[in-house]
Chains A and B, each alone.
Chain A
Amino acid sequence: MSIFLLFTQSFNAQDIEVCQTCETRSISDAISQAKPGDKIIVKEGVYKEHKIIIDKPITLIGENLPIVDGENKGDIFQVFADSVTIDGLKLINVGSSYTSDFAAIRLSRAKNFLIQNLELRKIFFGIYLEKSHHGTIRNNNILGDAVNEHNSGNGIHLWYSKNVKIEDNLIQKVRDGIYLEFADDCVISNNKSIDNLRYGLHFMFSNDDVYQHNIFENNGAGVAVMFSKRIEMIRNEFKYNWGTAAYGLLLKEINDATIESNIFEENTTGINVEGSNRITYTKNDFKDNGTAIKVLGACYDNIFTLNNFLYNSFDVSFNSRLNTNRFHQNYWSEYTGYDLDEDGYGDVPYRPVKLFSYVVNQIPEAIILMRSLFVDIIDFSEKVSPVFTPDNLLDEEPLIRKYND
């Protein structure tokens, strides 16, 4: 019976065309005419519409990127139905508000959606998902004009949404590039999140998500992962996050995560870790960062192996004397030991925490004395007999050569 229904539905499905000279001139009219399963083709042109409600499973396709202008009046599309596809439109002028989160596309309690090939300009929020599951957001180009955090929105915003795929998007100049709150089992891959005010990607209370092959450049902080469990972070690039509170990756209250094969380059702080346990860091490259890894309190049983620490001002900064984290077989560009038995591992352990980084943690102004001969001398003496830094924080088998995948 259901197969029959599906058959008749697809058999009856028809195309509705929307253009300036067609029978149907507005997208809302087309949607109200459409039956479930219909395809609406929007031709090139400018459509001044807002609050377009999609309440049935239809496909909306734009030809030659038609422009839908919200005229700063609020949400442009509101989707309340399952199996909706929106493809190939340019949405502009969402308009900002201090009381409601206006978005270019809002999906509410929708399933199996596909949002792709959109261009979003002058938005407040871009794509906003509430309790919407099992969908894909792909190949969209989002460019905001955010200046202040308090009156700007996020590029892609997920709230209580599970199993969503976010792929190949380019997101620039919004508050958070991608924001996930209570969003579990999502896969975020091949996105570029650049020049965003706050975070390139932001997790809050979201578990079991994967993000991979993304590029985060020049954001307030590349990625912030907070209060989440079992997040996998693989082959991402975190670059040029410069500033006083700028991090490549910010981890706060994260447990059981995997951080693998990422590149951290020229960040003020590569990874800032706070209250995070049982995380494995493997095969990451830390290059030219101010501090590669900054560990603040309450981080236990983290394992760092096969990472490359290359020319960072500080490799690891640690503010407590208790340490249950393990550094094992990493490559440290500042390692000066030798390898007499030629097994590829240095014979002398390496201590990644310098006394000076401990001093700078206590007295930030002391940074001005960096690379002074005096500082080198005290660092050396601390290295020989550690007093201030945790004495079990060392890499027993530092790699002699850089680790290559």
Chain B
Amino acid sequence: MLKILKYSFFDLIRSRWSYVYLLFYLLLGFVLLFLNEDLSKAVITLMNVIIILVPLIGTIFGVMYYYDSKEFTELLLAQPVKRSSIFIGQYLGVSLSLVMSLVIGLGLPFVFYGLFQSSAIFDFTLLLVTGALLTLAFTAIAFNIALYNENKIKGFSYAILMWLFMAVIYDGLFLMFLVIFDTYPLDKFSLIATMLNPIDLSRILILLKLDIAALLGYTGAIFKEFFGTNTGLFSALGALMIWVVLPVFNIYRKSKKKDF
């Protein structure tokens, strides 16, 4: 598995798109910090960008890589290599190279502008962890979609739809549900509904940093417990990890059975 991981990783690192991705983050980081030297404000702006962009990039790269390397995968399958290690290796190769672009691309400007001397280091770490987990989760979901769809176009559209659903449509349905069932107690429901969408989970992590004053305005005891203490932070991070583990496990399960 390690060999395949290494191969995919270096294959991607040599590719142009990784550099474009890295450059994009470098530019974003530097421009933001140039315009506004306040590190913690920049972290908050970045969080807003990251929860939309990272899933999109993760999804597209995941699907693209799977279909592009399909012939090579079939070649590998003819060798005495375990199936799971081929797919998991490829998955890790893609996602880790994306995570690396993210960490280096954002890390460099921030270190340059004195991250280690500032109090924003905790927020920044949280930002990188959230970004990394989102990349891992969405690349895994993209691999799943690709595994289930032989047709490239179909797979691609499903992947993009999935992203659109998670990023926009889900919240719309969620809000509609809240409006319709207005008369019922909804705080438990809304927390659970948030847990079911990794983008919402990451958004909650931002809210906990940024809008805590507004969040405490709501009178529900459950919200108060969730937002007022560290419970919110840890359960959101925990749920995000589950969002990584489950799709990866499904890659493992599906790849064992799939016909080629």
Contact = CB atoms under 8 A, between A and B. Distances in A.
Given A244-B219, A371-B48, A372-B171, A363 B213 contact: no
A199 interface: no
A13 B226 CA distance: 66
A112 to B, nearest CB: 44
Given A244-B224, A363-B179, A365-B190, A375 B216 contact: no
Contact of A366 (B167, B169, B175, B216): B175
A363 B171 contact: no
B172 A290 contact: no
Contacts of B207: 368, 370-371
14 contacts: A244-B219, A268-B214, A291-B217, A313-B210, A313-B214, A362-B179, A363-B179, A364-B217, A365-B218, A367-B215, A367-B217, A368-B194, A372-B171, A372-B203
B5 to A, nearest CB: 33
Give the interface size class of chain B.
35 or more
A344 interface: no
B171 A369 contact: yes
Interface in B164-220: 167-172, 174-175, 178-179, 182, 186-187, 189-191, 194, 200, 203-204, 206-207, 210-211, 213-220
Given A368-B191, A377-B168, A362 B218 contact: no
Listed residue (B206, B211, B214) with the most chain A CB atoms within 10 angstroms of its CB: B214
Closest 7 A-B residue pairs measured CB to CB?
A290-B214, A313-B214, A374-B171, A290-B213, A365-B186, A372-B171, A313-B211
Interface in B135-184: 167-172, 174-175, 178-179, 182
B52 interface: yes
Contacts of A291: 214, 217
A341 B200 CA distance: 42
Given A290-B217, A365-B186, A371-B210, 18 more contacts: A244-B216, A244-B218, A290-B215, A313-B210, A363-B178, A363-B179, A364-B218, A364-B220, A365-B178, A365-B218, A366-B175, A366-B178, A366-B190, A367-B217, A367-B218, A367-B223, A368-B204, A370-B211
A359 interface: yes
A293 to B, nearest CB: 13
B240 to A, nearest CB: 16
Interface string B58-78: 000000000000000000000
Contacts of B219: 244-245, 364
Contact of B213 (A242, A359, A366): A242
Given A373-B167, A375-B171, A365 B220 contact: yes
A373 B49 CA distance: 10
A367 B214 contact: yes
A327 B133 CA distance: 44
A267 interface: yes
Contacts of B187: 365
A375 B216 CA distance: 19
Interface of B is mostly: helix
A38 interface: no
Contact of A268 (B48, B182, B216): B216
B182 A363 contact: yes
Given A244-B219, A365-B186, A365-B220, A359 B175 contact: yes
Contacts of A269: 217
A314 interface: yes
Give the interface size class of chain A.
20 to 34
Contacts of A365: 178, 186-187, 189-190, 218, 220, 223
Contact of B217 (A244, A362, A368): A244
Contact of A369 (B52, B174, B189, B224): B174
A313 B214 CA distance: 6
Interface in A226-285: 242-246, 266-269
Contacts of A242: 213, 216
A132 interface: no
A167 interface: no
A199 to B, nearest CB: 18
B41 to A, nearest CB: 9
Interface in B22-66: 48, 52
Contacts of A313: 210-211, 213-214
Interface in B230-244: none
A313 B207 CA distance: 10
A289 interface: yes
A289 B178 CA distance: 25
Contacts of A246: 216
Contacts of B203: 371-372
Interface in A282-305: 288-291
Contacts of B174: 369
Contacts of A289: 213-214
A362 B204 contact: no
A363 B174 CA distance: 12
